[in-house]
Amino acid sequence: MNRVIVHSDINHCYAQLEEMRNPALRHVPMAVGGSAEKRHGIILAKNDLAKAAGVLTAESLHEARRKCPDLVILHPDYEAYMYCTEQIKDIYRQYTDRVESFGLDEAWFDLTGTKRLYGDPLELARRIQQEVYQCFGIRVSMGVSWNRVFAKLGSDLDKQMGFTVITPENYRELVWPLPVEELIMIGRRTQLKLNAMGLFTIGDLAQTDGMAVTRRLGKIGGLLWRCARGFDMSPVLCSGHQEQAKSVGSSKTLVHDVTTLQQLRQVCRVLCESPSPTPPPGCGPQACGGGSSPWPCGARTCAGKGRIRSG
């Protein structure tokens, strides 16, 4: 492969981080979830014992407790999760400056050109995976390919410390049989449009007429067709890169129903004051300090926690 792109995915991220904080949780069915009272009452992540009991991500807390009466539900601590996942990504940054986050739990990193320093890039990726586990006790699945799209697909194929290599020689066997919705950027509506064209697998999409997909879906159709064929050559962005925001927005889940125009105006006033495309200065995982850490890795509270946050 002329490029070696790795995609890492922290399995059951929030649940694993809570188990790192309190190892006793590994021996009971546990999930991280919202608050039913505040209408955020869904399962965000669950450990293996909860999964074995039938608990599903994104289902209601009520349904999860019906399946597993002994389920321990913890409220999420996003500031600590952010800090700890950045510590994990700092391991990647020891070997390359091209580390691009994709949410808290996922990241791409580019090991192209590291052979003279660290040896075979594939073996380096395996060593990094083991280093994360040894340092944090966190299981990370990894996919390796010559492009970002297939690397992400690879990390999804085996979620238990998996390590999948997708090459120009084997991608037709590994990637093309997968459902078309497994391809990044394909949501439910796009899936239905592709299915209506008779395209149900990534291979179906790759082997159809690209112009027909473009005519049906527009510009994104051509992009998806190229990705399915392995033509994605987009670079992994350098650490710290920030694209200019194209839009800003704000949202909030209300605890109670809004029944009057006056109440609606009050909500709108708060939302209009809070939109921001970037965190305030000093906020972020590298700017945390003060107070004792609730985490073995030394996570602290965020310096920007006083900012009004929407969502």
Whole-number Å distance between alpha carbons of 21 and 6: 27
pLDDT in tens, 72-99: 999 999 999 999 999 999 999 999 999 9
Marked catalytic residue, from 19, 79, 100, 106: 106
E strands, the chain, are 5-10, 30-33, 43-46, 72-74, 99-101, 106-110, 140-145, 163-165
For residue 300, the SS3 value is coil
Across 120-137, average pLDDT: 97
Whole-number Å distance between alpha carbons of 265 and 12: 39
182 tagged catalytic: no
- What pTM does this model have? 0.77
For residue 214, the SS3 value is helix
Across 242-255, average pLDDT: 70
Does residue 286 register a pLDDT over 60?
Answer: no
- Percent above pLDDT 90 for the chain: 70
Structure tokens at 188: 């439910």
